[in-house]
Amino acid sequence: PTAPTVMTMNGHFAGVGEQHSAEDFEHGIQIIDSDKNFNDSLPAYLQKEGVIRAGFNYHLISVFGSQSTGKSTLLNYLFGTQFGVMSEKERRQTTKGIWMSKNKKEHAEGNTAMAANILVMDVEGTDGRERGEDQDFERKSALFALATSEVLIVNIWEHQVGLYQGANMGLLKTVFEVNLQLFLKDQKSVPRSLLFFVIRDHLGTTPLSNLKETLKADLQRLWSGLSKPPGLEKSQIDDYFDFAFVALPHKILQPEKFEQEVARLGTRFREGFKDPKRDGLVDESTEPVLLPAYHRRIPADGFPMYANGIWEQIDSNKDLDLPTQQELLAQFRCDEIMKEVMLTFDAVVSPLEDRQAEGINSGRPVVIAALGNLIGEARKVVLASFEEEASRYHKGVFKTKSAELQTKVDSRLKALYHGQLSAAHKSGVEDFSEAVTTAVKAGQKKGTNYDFHQIVQTEKQKALKKFESEAQSSAVAGATWSDYRSQLNLYQKELDEVSSRLRKDEMRRLATRSERWVRSRLGESIGLEFNKLGSGRGGSGAPAEGEKPPSEKDIWDRVWNVFTDTIAHAESRFTERARSFDASPEEVEVGLWRLRRKSWGALRDKLDEETMEGNLLLKLRENFEDKFRYDEEGVPRIWRPTDDIEGLYTKARESTLTLIPLLSRFKLSGTSAPPPLDAWIGDAPATVTAADEEDLNPIGGVDEEEGKSLEEEMTILGDSKSQDLSTRFKKTADGVYVEAKRSAIGGVTQ
Ligand code: GDP
Ligand code: MG
């Protein structure tokens, strides 16, 4: 039944933007014209009069009564307004529709503006003389006045008092009826009103108190004659209305007295006054008129829309439904206020959102300094300004809209806050990783003894501290979403992940260093063992007759021992260092396993190098010459023809030749079997990954799927290579023998 008429306006400030000259509002504003149109310029008028921002600090007073009873005249006297007044010669209606004007009279010196911003409505007179029998407009304007005004001035001639059938009484009956209807809708939305009777042309013969009694009796009679809605049958007129009565002297006959009294009355409207009881003839009260209880509680900035909505309801003969009007008004105004306060909010927050988005798009996350202060302030301001403006409207609507605003604001700020945390997270992780890498590089420059564990711990503490301080300075006090604990947890976890990745890198570096060390160590020590082959006695004294030098026979035992000793040393260094930066036992286990395999590869490379044909031939020749050309004491032989050169040659040659089968297979002397390489390397640890195995070469006898046996892995020289070597060695030995023979003969001839 209630059309949302307020929605038809294009906003409560419609008309504010339009240009109005001062003359436009010279006589106030005709808010409803004679064609019953509502004036869209009302906001502009209230703006011009400085009322629009007054909140509840304004008042509305209406006057009605019969045509040409001096209503406009009275208002002009009381409030300094300039409503049109009929000239004394013509009897023609001047006030058409409803006019409004702001009080133009100053308050008395020293009296605070107790009733500031008084708006007065001059309502077209009643009796239908000018409008024929159509009393429609009178009824409607009375309703309008009742719905909006705190005080209704009822203007009557003294001689009309007691005329129960008069036009005034008919109108009052309408007012009472409508009030009951309004009251029935929602008791809270209809405050009391003051019916202020101003009795004009008071001759003084009948005292005011008598006139008042007569009027009150008439009103009572009127009230009891009303058909009251169910539930309100027993209601009294005093439940809804206060009454005040004032009489004014005859304006034409007693002009001075008239002016004096009307001035006094005006002061009472504006300020109230407390002078002692006077003669009681003219005005029985000294109380202020504009009591808070009468206020309609429509904020000034919502008044034009509210009044318009009410007028449209009245004009279209709909049931006047103030609560619904107030709710609609509240919804509309709250939305508008929300838009307004969001402009200020956007001015602060949008640039921050843009900066953050840019950071995300460019892949370089931006941590905005002191974000918490910025957005906390914006949040406080937007909520407070909304509350200040909007809380004057319908409480339920305000609460809903306020929650809506808070949700809107908080969802934006929460996104910003989380964006900030994730920026702090990303940049923190990057910084951390970089700081560790840099510190490791600096440590490496100084040597290999830098403390990786310490570096990681120090940088992690720094990173956590920085994140926390950034998160704290981004937090907004009082916002439930402003909690970074779970993000801090995530951050901590990621730092740990990065640490473990960095530790893996460090492990790899350690492995590379260890392998390099093993390779160079083996290069020396294995080379040394092979060099010993060059001397036929290997430094262990002269071999017993017919026996091979022990040093040659157990070369592989020594190679294996040197090898395993070296690796054992490397392993313990590796373990110690890996443990120093918290490598897990599993990681260490894998690292050692890899180290052993790599080391075996290094040994094989070294052995291959030592047993290259050229190298080995040289060693064999040295070995042979040592046995052939030197005696047991290591003294060079001077060959004489009597010497058993051939015998010595054969013995030395055969002895050296035994090295070839010895060297061709890596065998331990004790078992005559290959060293236990498979057992020594051990099974692959359970935690080995494909990445760990990627750069490992297969080892025969260890990696079964290779199809190569340990025997083959331990083959240093193949059969044909051994054969070749043996042939070439014999030729070399032959050469030495021939030379020896020659030198023996030569020695004789000399
Ligand atoms: P309205 O139609 O009720 O607004 O009446 P107006 O203010 O236009 O006044 C109508 C006529 O009554 C004018 O000619 C006024 O001069 C005259 N008038 C105004 N006040 C008084 C008054 O107190 N007593 C008498 N007798 N005439 C008045
Ligand atoms: Mg008038």
Is 279's pLDDT higher than 60? no
Distance CA(496)–CA(502), nearest Å, equals 10
Distance CA(594)–CA(170), nearest Å, equals 111
Is 274's pLDDT higher than 70? no
Say if CB 586 and CB 701 are below 8 A apart. Answer: no
Is 121's pLDDT higher than 90? yes
**What integer pLDDT is reported at residue 544 of this predicted model?**
47
Is 262's pLDDT higher than 70? yes
Place of tokens 């009322």: 51
According to DSSP H, which parts of 152-207 are helical? Answer: 167-185
SS3 letters across 595-641? HHHHHHHHHHHHHHHHCCHHHHHHHHHHHHHHHHHECCCCCECCCCC
Say if CB 116 and CB 140 are below 8 A apart. Answer: no
Quote the DSSP letter at residue 318.
P
Distance CA(290)–CA(99), nearest Å, equals 20
**What integer pLDDT is reported at residue 88 of this predicted model?**
64
Is 231's pLDDT higher than 90? no
Please name the residues in contact with 679: beta carbons below 8 A apart, sequence gap of 6 or more: none
Q: How far is the CA of 252 from the centre of ligand 2 (A)?
A: 17
- For the residues 702-706, what does the mean pLDDT come to? 77
Quote the DSSP letter at residue 454.
H
For the ranges 170-179, 361-370, 577-586, 682-691, which has the lowest average pLDDT?
170-179
- For the residues 507-522, what does the mean pLDDT come to? 94
- For the residues 312-318, what does the mean pLDDT come to? 87
Where residue 749 falls among pLDDT bands split at 50, 70, 90? very low
Ligand at shortest distance from the CA of 96: 2
* The model scores a pTM over 0.90: no
For the ranges 241-250, 266-275, 307-316, which has the lowest average pLDDT?
266-275
Could you identify the atom of ligand 1 that is nearest to the CA of residue 248? 23
Q: Indicate which residue's Cα is closest to atom 22 of ligand 1.
A: 251
Q: Are strands 151-157 and 193-202 parallel, antiparallel or unpaired?
A: parallel
**What integer pLDDT is reported at residue 630 of this predicted model?**
87
**What integer pLDDT is reported at residue 518 of this predicted model?**
96
Q: Are strands 193-202 and 59-65 parallel, antiparallel or unpaired?
A: unpaired
Closest CA to 513 of 577, 425, 606: 577
Could you identify the atom of ligand 1 that is nearest to the CA of residue 258? 23
Order of strands across the sheet with 98-102? 29-32, 98-102, 118-123, 59-65, 151-157, 193-202, 241-249
Could you identify the atom of ligand 1 that is nearest to the CA of residue 67? 2
Q: How far is the CA of 91 from the centre of ligand 2 (A)?
A: 11
Query: Collapsing DSSP states into helix, strand and coil, what is residue 7?
Result: helix
Closest CA to 346 of 338, 336, 357: 338
**What integer pLDDT is reported at residue 165 of this predicted model?**
65
What are the chain's domains? 59-297 (3.40.50.300), 330-483 (no CATH), 502-749 (no CATH)
What does the pLDDT look like over 60-81, one tens digit per residue?
A: 999 988 878 899 999 999 999 9
Please name the residues in contact with 433: beta carbons below 8 A apart, sequence gap of 6 or more: 498, 502
Closest CA to 330 of 396, 382, 273, 384: 396
Q: How far is the CA of 358 from the centre of ligand 1 (A)?
A: 73
Q: How far is the CA of 34 from the centre of ligand 1 (A)?
A: 21
**What integer pLDDT is reported at residue 450 of this predicted model?**
83
**What integer pLDDT is reported at residue 127 of this predicted model?**
56
Where residue 13 falls among pLDDT bands split at 50, 70, 90? very low
**What integer pLDDT is reported at residue 571 of this predicted model?**
96
Q: Indicate which residue's Cα is closest to atom 7 of ligand 1.
A: 70
**What integer pLDDT is reported at residue 271 of this predicted model?**
66
Closest CA to 81 of 103, 98, 61: 103
**What integer pLDDT is reported at residue 293 of this predicted model?**
81
- For the residues 397-412, what does the mean pLDDT come to? 96
Could you identify the atom of ligand 1 that is nearest to the CA of residue 155? 3
- Percent of the chain past pLDDT 70, that is, above it, reads 86
Distance CA(538)–CA(346), nearest Å, equals 92
Distance CA(346)–CA(381), nearest Å, equals 12
**What integer pLDDT is reported at residue 541 of this predicted model?**
43
722 CB-side CA count, 13 A: 14
Any idea how long the chain is?
750
What does the pLDDT look like over 444-489, one tens digit per residue?
A: 888 767 888 899 999 999 999 999 999 999 999 888 888 999 999 9
Q: Indicate which residue's Cα is closest to atom 1 of ligand 1.
A: 68
Place of tokens 């051939």: 646
**What integer pLDDT is reported at residue 691 of this predicted model?**
87
ipTM of this predicted structure: 0.99
Say if CB 88 and CB 255 are below 8 A apart. Answer: no
Residue 535 backbone zone (phi > 0: left; psi -120 to 50: alpha; other: beta): beta
446 CB-side CA count, 13 A: 8
Query: What percent helix, strand, coil does the chain show, rounded to 5?
Result: 60, 10, 35
What does the pLDDT look like over 143-194, one tens digit per residue?
A: 899 889 999 999 999 988 887 666 677 778 878 887 787 766 666 666 788 9
Distance CA(120)–CA(269), nearest Å, equals 11
Distance CA(26)–CA(442), nearest Å, equals 86
Say if CB 580 and CB 453 are below 8 A apart. Answer: yes
SS3 letters across 677-703? HHHHHCCCCCCCCHHHHCCCCCCCCCC
- For the residues 267-288, what does the mean pLDDT come to? 53
**What integer pLDDT is reported at residue 556 of this predicted model?**
94
Q: Indicate which residue's Cα is closest to atom 6 of ligand 1.
A: 70
Quote the crossing angle between the two packed helices 452-472 and 395-446, to the nearest 10°. Answer: 160
Element (H, E) at 122: strand 118-123
Is 95's pLDDT higher than 90? no
Where residue 14 falls among pLDDT bands split at 50, 70, 90? very low
Ligand 1 cavity residues, CB under 6 Å: 67-73, 85-86, 88, 94-95, 125, 200-201, 250-252
Pocket test for ligand 1, best of 72, 86, 121, 158 (most atoms within 8 A of CB): 86
What does the pLDDT look like over 193-206, one tens digit per residue?
A: 899 999 999 988 89
Q: How far is the CA of 89 from the centre of ligand 1 (A)?
A: 11
What ranges make up the beta strands (E) of 209-330?
241-249
What does the pLDDT look like over 240-249, one tens digit per residue?
A: 888 889 999 9
Q: Indicate which residue's Cα is closest to atom 16 of ligand 1.
A: 88
Is 599's pLDDT higher than 90? yes
Could you identify the atom of ligand 1 that is nearest to the CA of residue 88? 14
Distance CA(156)–CA(242), nearest Å, equals 18
Mean pLDDT of all residues in the chain? 85
Which structure tokens are listed for 508? 């790899």
Closest CA to 392 of 293, 291, 300, 308: 300
Which structure tokens are listed for 3? 């059309």
Neighbour-count burial of 497, counting CB atoms closer than 10 A to its CB (0-12 exposed, 13-18 middle, 19+ buried): exposed
